[in-house]
A and B are shown apart, each in its own frame.
Chain A
Amino acid sequence: MSNNLQTFTKGLIKENPILVLLLGCCPTLATTTSAINGMSMGLATTFVLVLSNIFISLLKGFIPDKVRIPCFIVVIASFVTLVQLLMQAYVPDIYETLGLFIPLIVVNCIVLGRAEAFASKNPVFPSMLDGLGMGLGFTLALTLLGCLREFLGSGSIFGLTILPETANILVFILPPGAFICLGFVIAIVNQFKKESH
């Protein structure tokens, strides 16, 4: 059980996909213009990650090694399309802001990375926990970056205005700001990791 717990929690901080493994930087940089966008993207990815990990773990005995990558991609792409259709039909408001980024989940290397590194070698339950942990770690990092960039760039957090418009630093909303923020957050995380060792 403690082993399972570790499988779950390692994605949150110790092996956080963004801040430590540096996987999936494309959606990270693109969607963290505001806290809510970052969080929604994180949650949508978590959903796909958990489902794809479960199914790939179930199918691992059936998929021959040489064609495993195309098989994984088909499974992942199917789930992404599924999420997209369901969101479009039942939560059109969220789809409105996020629609553009949903197809990006297919090429998110965290999803394929976890399928390859974990789900294809482990039983179903730990694979699910791994997907959940990694997904939540991803969500955590995206929300944090989103908050930072929204606060610095638009003076608000989750749409709640804190600073007046004159104090906004526009560059943080733009792509360069994403790189700057990500760099600083990673530096801080590294410092903490060093100290705790």
Chain B
Amino acid sequence: MGEYIYSWEELSKYISDSLDNARRILPKRIYDDLESKLREVVEDKGLSPEEAREIIDSVVKDYEYSMIEPGEPVGTVAAQSIGEPGTQMTLRTFHYAGMREFNVTLGLPRFIEIVDARREPSTPVMYIYLDDEHKHSEAEAKKVARSIEFTRVINVTSEIDIDLVNMRIVLRLDPVMLEDKGVTVEQVKKVLEKLKLGRVEAEPSDPLVLYVYIEPGETFSLIDLQKKKEKILNAKIKGLKKIRRVILQSTISPDGTTEYFLVTEGSNLKDIFEVPGIDPRRVYTNDIHEVEEVLGIEAARIALIREMKNVLEEQGLDVDIRHIMLVADMMTWTGKVRQIGRHGVSGEKYSPLARAAFEMTTQNLFEAAIHGEEDRLLGITETVIAGGVIRMGTGMVEVSMNPAALVKPREVSEGEK
């Protein structure tokens, strides 16, 4: 046993080669952990260079031991590790207990949605965090919430009529809804004027009643009037498209302050970045395709992992993150999110036999025949069909012979003659 050393700086000089080796092999986080633990021990109790070296080497050895071995069927293991807990997932959609009741698809339906890479989730949800100015005050947060909630004239109207005598459309606004959505009568009037259907006037005796005078055109028809009525009702007052409802929620941050954030029904990632008052760096949506389109494939990969992990965790299922990461890696391999299934990972397999074994056997075989495809029997499925040894585990290893090496000794013996 060597001398005990009580200073990390001094010790690290003696064991620098071991440390360098560990740094090269270990992932950053494990190395950092190792170094900080060693430092702690050295400064507290002291270590000899031999001991330190032994610790580092055994960490490296353990790390290498825990690595996947060549030939390990990781995909199959991942499929089973997700599939078995998946049988315990709820088959129905769940409610989400927020400040107000708010439906979010969870459990098996949501998981299927993710791996099928559906265009739009059945319940798109966006989480919007606010900037420093807005996140601590409820009133400020509400202001932002109102500015993004998609509001049309229909949302604030309680009654609409066509007055044929005076050739006008009569709108009665709902004071409660106006208050709730934060819209003024003036704003509605402006929106109506922008439609350019005709003069807009308020009823002098009742400020909540608006008249839109329709200019009689060359041809007049009731259908035409109905169309104009629809147009008025669907006119946008404010907000972002697709954001149907905004809910204000709050969390208490570690430093004791309340932070408000918004949860929306409906998702519109592209436009939300330009809204003042939000923190664009932290906006999150559960619509994977939208993430891919706006933030790129790597962001989509992270979103996929996060979504799958959330669903499994919410159901109380403990699946190792590496299985999920593998699935996400496969789904984003080609630079686009593709589903696990007929139109994605399984459907794009190189081997026609493997594709035929998966789904639509005859159709796949016909197509392969038409295109003159070739199957080299390299994958698992094809090999099993052909009755061979699969190229996995010990089947990966093959004995090969070098004919040149056989020729050599004979030449020598001939030379001796």
Do these two chains interact?
Answer: no
